Structure 1
C-alpha cells in the first residue's frame, strides 16, 4: 500500500560546494512524493533492478527547474557552474608540517637524552627503562616522518590519476604500494613515478628505528687516577738481601746463593719475567729507571783451535773471561765478556752439520727505563735499555757499603748466575757415539734437545731456538727484572691507578644519521605535496568517501557488472584503462558536470585548479 509523506529538501554540500533550493520547496503546498518500497522495486524491475533503477526517469515533480543556484555566494546559470578550490585545501600541508615537527622534536629529545647519559655510570638510570624509552622515541620519530610522507602520497596519488589512463590492475597496485611491497614494479614507476617514489620513502623511513636505539650501549670504562706510590728497584747486591754467599764472620763475597739460583732457574727455563705483586693495585701502571747489567752481543771470528776434524764434534762452547777481585789477582780482569761458539742448527736441521757461529757478548752498566702495567694483577713490561760504560774494576767486598760500587756488584751478581747456565761445552769425541753435555744451555729457552737427550748422539740432539745475538741479552734482561720481586730497596714514583666501571656510551652517528635521512625524505615529500596541492587546489585522501564521489559514472557500473562483491576474479575489469577527469556533457546520462573515473574517451583532462 502506497503511503503519503512530505519531503523537505535541504542543501547538501558536496565536492563542488554548490547549494540549491528546489522550487517545490518554496511552495506552500509541496507535492506529495511516493515512497517506493524495495519489494515493489524488485517486483517492477526483476533481478536487474539496479540497472532499471539508474535508467528510470525521475518523477516529474522532482525535475522542476531550479529557481537559482548559488556557488560561493555568486549566482550563475545552471550550465555555467564549475568546480573550484576546496575551502580547506591547505589542511594536508598543515598536517605534514605537524608530523615533521613532531618527528624533529622527538628526535632531538632522543639525542639530547642519550648525550646526557654518555659516560655516566650505568647505575644512575635503569638500563631497562633507557631501552624502553629509546625504543619508544624511535617509534615516534619513524611514525611521524612516515605519516608526513603518507599524507603527501595520497595527494600525489590522485594527481597521478589525472595524468594518463591506467589499467585497473595498475590502479590497484598504486593504492596498495604502502601495504604490499610486491606492488612495486616497472609499470608503477613508469606510470606514476612520484607516487611510487614517495611510497618507497614510506618503506625506507621505518628502518631508522632499527639503528637508533642501539646508539646507546653499556661498556666498561677505565678511569685513571694519578698518585705517588712506592715501587721496588734493582738492588740484588744489597747487604741485607741473602743473594750472596758470605763466609761466616767474614766479609768476602763468594758468589750467588741458592735463592737466586732458584730464581734464575725458573726465569731462564721459562724465558719470561717472574711476576711480582703489584705495589698499586690490580690495575695500575708506573714507570721508573735504575742501573743494572746489560749485554751487547756481536759476531766474532771462530776460535783457531776448531780444526776441520775436531770442529765437527763440537756443538756448544762458552767461555767466561771475568774473575773476581782478590788478594792474589788484584782488581781482576777489566773486561767482562763471554765468547760463545755453536753450530747454527735449527730444530728442523737437528742432526745436520751446519756451520759455526761465534758471538762475543760484552757486559755494560745499563740504565733500565721500565714501564710496568698491571692488568687484573698480571704485570706487563716495556723495557728500554741505555748502555753506559762497560762493567770493570770490580771490588767484591761487603764492607764497601751501599752505593758505588754496589750497583756494579749487583750487575756482577746477576751476570755470574746467568753465566753459570751458559758456560761450558757440549762435545763429542770421534771415538764414541754418545756424550753428556757439560753445560746448562739446554735448560734455557735459548737451545734445546729432544726427549732422548741422555741416549742419543749429540749430533742428533742439538739445535737452537732463536738468534742468540738478541736472545742472550733479552734473557739477561728478564732475569734482572725478576729480581725486583725480592728487592729490599724501594723508590717513589708516579703511579696511574685504573678503575673500571660500567658506563653508558653514546654513538651519535647511529642516531643522527638515520634520523637525518628520514627527515630529508620527509622534506622532499612535503615539497612535492605542497606543489601538487597548490596545482590542484583540492584535498583528497584514500578514504571511502573519496572513492564514492569519484566513481559516480554509469560506465563504471556497466564494466563492473557481476562483480559487486569482489574484484578478485574480474580479469576483464582489470584490463580496462581508466583515468580521473571531468566527464563530458551527457557522458553520465545528463547535463550535470562532475569529475569521476572513466575511459579517456569519456573525459576532459583536469588541468589547473578548476574543471576546464
Structure 2
C-alpha cells in the first residue's frame, strides 16, 4: 500500500514518488498496541497525521457554541429578572412590557437553538464517520434543522438517534418563545397599604365644659342636651331636656335599623380602622326561668294590666323600666334644701318575653289556653342598666360600611343618691340620661301580641325586639337591645359639629383591587429549564464529537464539496444521467445506497464511500488514528 502525501515536495512531477507505508499490527482486546517506534517518534507521527488529516482544532466554533449557550442562559435570566421587576406593580404600558418579554424570549430561543445547531453539525459528521447511512438519510441529516419532514427518515430514527434528538430540540425550543411571555399577566390584585387617617370619635366628658350659648363650632355647633336657667337667676343651669339633634339622630338610627353611614377617610379605597372612645352602653343580664315566671306574676308590667302573658292570653313581649325618672317639671328653688335639676336615679330596663320551646302542650292544660297554643311557651326576663363604657370599634368599608363593637371598662356615671348641677360630671350625666331615655322610649314603643285583634296592627307599631312575622320575641333579645345602643352611638359620629365631637388620628388599612402585573415563575422556567438542559446536553455531545472527529466542521457547501471529491461517487452516479449535474428526481437506487465518511482509496484521502471500501476514523487508543475495525490494523508510516 502507498500513502498519499498531501504536501508533496516542490519540483518536477517525475521526481515525486509515493512513499512506502508501514503497517503496525494492533493487539485486540485490552492489550497494548505493538510498536517498534519510540515514544518520541509516535508523538511526531501523531502531530504529522493531525496536520495531514486536518485535525487541527480551530477555536472559533467551540467558542461560538459555548458562547451562544451562555447568551441563551443569560437571556433567560434577564427575562426572569425583568418579570420579577414588574411583579406586583401597576399594569401600565402592558403592550410594551409584553413586547419586551417577547424580545427576551426570542433572543433566548435564537441563542440556544444556534448553540444546538453548531453542536448538531459536529454530531452528524461523527455519525457519518461511524454509521453507514443511505444517501437519502444523509440528505435528511444535513437538512433536518431546516426541514421537519426529514424526521420521517428511517435512518435518522435507527442510525442517528442522538443527532435526531438534537435536531428535534431545535424545533421544540421555539415553543418556549411562545409560552414564556405568558408567564406575565395582568390580574386584579388586592393592593393594601397603611396610613394615618383622621376619623371621627366622641368625647362625652367634653360635655362638662360645654357652654350652651357658646358652641365649640360657632354658629354650626350643636348640643345634644339643653339646660334651663335656675330660679332665682345667677345660679347654676340644670338639665332641661333632650336636644332636637339628639332626637333626629335617634330617628335616623331607629328608622334605618342601622347606623347612619359614616364618611370614609380613605377616598377611592376600601378601608379598615379602629377607634376607641367612651360612650353610653346598656349592659343586660338574663334572669332565670323561675325568676322570670315569678316576675310575670308579681311585677308591674304596665301595658298588660288588663291582659295576660301568653299562653294565658296574647302578649308575647313587653319592655318597661323601673326607677325614678327625671321630671320634666322641676321643683322651684328651695334654698338649702334645693332639689332643682337633681338626678336621683337611673331607670333599669326590664324586658319580659316568652319563647316557643317547640314542645307540644298537653290538651286541656293551662299552657294550651283552650287549644289556642299548640306548644309550650317559656317565660324570660332581661334586666338592662346604663353604664359609661369604653367602645372599641372596628370600622370596615368594603362596599357597604360595617362596624364591630366591643365594650370594656363599664362603670356607672350616676352617683346615688343624688347628683346636682354643681357636680363636675353633671352635664355629662345629663347626656347619658338623654341617651338612655331615647333607647327606653323606643323599646316601649310597642309590644308583642299574637293571635288576637291586635295582631293585625301595622308592623311599625311593634317593638323592635319582636319578630314582625311570628309576633314572638326575636332570637337574640339581648343582642337586639345592644344593637339599638350601637346604632344610636355610631350615628352620633356622623354629626361633625357636636360639642362632644372630636377628630382623632388612627392607623388605617387601605386596599382596593387594581390591575397589577403577576409573574408566575414556573410558567417561564418550565420551558426555559428544559431548553437549557437540552442545549447543555447538545453542547456536551458537540464537544465530544469535535474531540473524536479531531476537527471542527460545518455543513456549508464548501465543506460538502471538499469531502465528496472521489472517483467512488463518480462510479455511483455514472449510471444515472444528469445526477452528477444536480438533476432530479434523485434515483431511488442511489438514495438507498449506504455511504460512510472515512478513508478511501487505500488511505490516499478522506471522502464519502461505500462501506466495503471505507476505513472508519476512530480514536480507541488515546490518540487520533486511522483504524479499520474490519482489517484490525492501523495505517502509519
Alignment TM-score > 0.5, same fold: yes
Structure 1: tracts of 5 or more residues without a match: 1-15, 28-63, 346-350, 450-460
Q: 2:410 aligns with which of 357, 372, 388?
A: 388
1:321 matched residue in structure 2: 321
Alpha carbons 1:255, 1:416 under 8 Å: kept: no
Count of equivalent residues: 525
Q: 1:141 aligns with which of 108, 130, 134?
A: 108
2:369 matched residue in structure 1: none
Instruction: Evaluate the alpha carbon distance shift between residue 179 and residue 470 of structure 1 in structure 2; reply closer, same or farther with a 3 A threshold.
Output: farther
Q: Does 1:536 align with 2:549?
A: yes
Instruction: Evaluate the alpha carbon distance shift between residue 309 and residue 567 of structure 1 in structure 2; reply closer, same or farther with a 3 A threshold.
Output: farther
Q: 2:174 aligns with which of 206, 224, 245?
A: 206
1:473 matched residue in structure 2: 482
Q: Does 1:232 align with 2:220?
A: no
* C-alpha separation in 1, matches of 2:609 and 2:254: 95
Alpha carbons 1:246, 1:252 under 8 Å: kept: yes
| 1:93 Cα deviation from its structure 2 partner | 1.0
| 1:344 Cα deviation from its structure 2 partner | 7.7
1:197 matched residue in structure 2: 165
* C-alpha separation in 2, matches of 1:166 and 1:400: 117
The C-alpha deviation readout for 1:169-216, integer Å capped at 9, x for no partner, is 665655555446676689656643432433344345434444358659
Alpha carbons 1:550, 1:595 under 8 Å: kept: yes
Q: Does 1:447 align with 2:467?
A: yes
Instruction: Please give the residue correspondences for 1:280-299 in structure 2 after superposition, counting only pairs within 5 Å.
Output: 286-292=273-279, 293-296=281-284, 298=286
| 1:536 Cα deviation from its structure 2 partner | 1.4
* C-alpha separation in 2, matches of 1:145 and 1:326: 91
Instruction: Evaluate the alpha carbon distance shift between residue 434 and residue 102 of structure 1 in structure 2; reply closer, same or farther with a 3 A threshold.
Output: closer
1:5 matched residue in structure 2: none
| 1:151 Cα deviation from its structure 2 partner | 1.2
Alpha carbons 2:344, 2:419 under 8 Å: kept: no
* C-alpha separation in 2, matches of 1:436 and 1:501: 48
Instruction: Please give the residue correspondences for 1:363-442 in structure 2 after superposition, counting only pairs within 5 Å.
Output: 363=385, 364-372=387-395, 381-386=403-408, 388-389=410-411, 399=421, 404=425, 410-423=431-444, 424-428=446-450, 432=453, 435-436=456-457, 440-441=461-462
| 1:414 Cα deviation from its structure 2 partner | 4.0
* C-alpha separation in 2, matches of 1:135 and 1:169: 38
* C-alpha separation in 1, matches of 2:250 and 2:174: 67
* C-alpha separation in 2, matches of 1:521 and 1:179: 18
Q: Does 1:578 align with 2:586?
A: no
* C-alpha separation in 1, matches of 2:148 and 2:384: 79
Q: Does 1:594 align with 2:596?
A: no
Alpha carbons 1:337, 1:361 under 8 Å: kept: yes
The C-alpha deviation readout for 1:285-329, integer Å capped at 9, x for no partner, is 653311221545657526465999942864740323354544799
Instruction: Please give the residue correspondences for 1:39-54 in structure 2 after superposition, counting only pairs within 5 Å.
Output: none
Q: Does 1:275 align with 2:261?
A: yes
The C-alpha deviation readout for 1:362-392, integer Å capped at 9, x for no partner, is 345432122446679x755454332634787
* C-alpha separation in 1, matches of 2:561 and 2:308: 113
TM-score, L = length of structure 2 = 0.63
Instruction: Evaluate the alpha carbon distance shift between residue 468 and residue 499 of structure 1 in structure 2; reply closer, same or farther with a 3 A threshold.
Output: closer
Instruction: Evaluate the alpha carbon distance shift between residue 282 and residue 565 of structure 1 in structure 2; reply closer, same or farther with a 3 A threshold.
Output: same
Alpha carbons 1:153, 1:199 under 8 Å: kept: yes
Alpha carbons 1:236, 1:243 under 8 Å: kept: no
| 1:98 Cα deviation from its structure 2 partner | 2.1
| 1:522 Cα deviation from its structure 2 partner | 3.1
| 1:531 Cα deviation from its structure 2 partner | 1.5
Q: Does 1:493 align with 2:461?
A: no
| 1:96 Cα deviation from its structure 2 partner | 1.1
Instruction: Evaluate the alpha carbon distance shift between residue 266 and residue 230 of structure 1 in structure 2; reply closer, same or farther with a 3 A threshold.
Output: closer
Instruction: Evaluate the alpha carbon distance shift between residue 261 and residue 334 of structure 1 in structure 2; reply closer, same or farther with a 3 A threshold.
Output: closer
2:537 matched residue in structure 1: 524
Instruction: Evaluate the alpha carbon distance shift between residue 427 and residue 127 of structure 1 in structure 2; reply closer, same or farther with a 3 A threshold.
Output: closer
1:30 matched residue in structure 2: none
TM-score, L = length of structure 1 = 0.65
Alpha carbons 1:231, 1:491 under 8 Å: kept: yes
Q: Does 1:605 align with 2:616?
A: yes
Alpha carbons 2:419, 2:426 under 8 Å: kept: no
| 1:544 Cα deviation from its structure 2 partner | 3.0
SS at match of 2:317: strand
1:95 matched residue in structure 2: 64
* C-alpha separation in 1, matches of 2:583 and 2:230: 120
Alpha carbons 1:212, 1:510 under 8 Å: kept: no
* C-alpha separation in 1, matches of 2:238 and 2:147: 97
Q: Does 1:154 align with 2:121?
A: yes
SS at match of 1:321: strand
Instruction: Evaluate the alpha carbon distance shift between residue 230 and residue 155 of structure 1 in structure 2; reply closer, same or farther with a 3 A threshold.
Output: same
Instruction: Evaluate the alpha carbon distance shift between residue 225 and residue 535 of structure 1 in structure 2; reply closer, same or farther with a 3 A threshold.
Output: same
The C-alpha deviation readout for 1:258-306, integer Å capped at 9, x for no partner, is 6445544444455543222346766566533112215456575264659
Instruction: Evaluate the alpha carbon distance shift between residue 541 and residue 277 of structure 1 in structure 2; reply closer, same or farther with a 3 A threshold.
Output: same
Instruction: Please give the residue correspondences for 1:100-179 in structure 2 after superposition, counting only pairs within 5 Å.
Output: 100-106=69-75, 131-166=98-133, 174-175=141-142, 177-179=144-146
Structure 2: tracts of 5 or more residues without a match: 22-42, 213-221, 232-236, 298-306, 331-341, 359-371, 628-637
Instruction: Evaluate the alpha carbon distance shift between residue 303 and residue 533 of structure 1 in structure 2; reply closer, same or farther with a 3 A threshold.
Output: same
| 1:154 Cα deviation from its structure 2 partner | 1.9
SS at match of 1:606: coil
* C-alpha separation in 2, matches of 1:386 and 1:100: 69
SS at match of 2:447: strand
* C-alpha separation in 2, matches of 1:166 and 1:524: 24
Instruction: Evaluate the alpha carbon distance shift between residue 544 and residue 259 of structure 1 in structure 2; reply closer, same or farther with a 3 A threshold.
Output: same
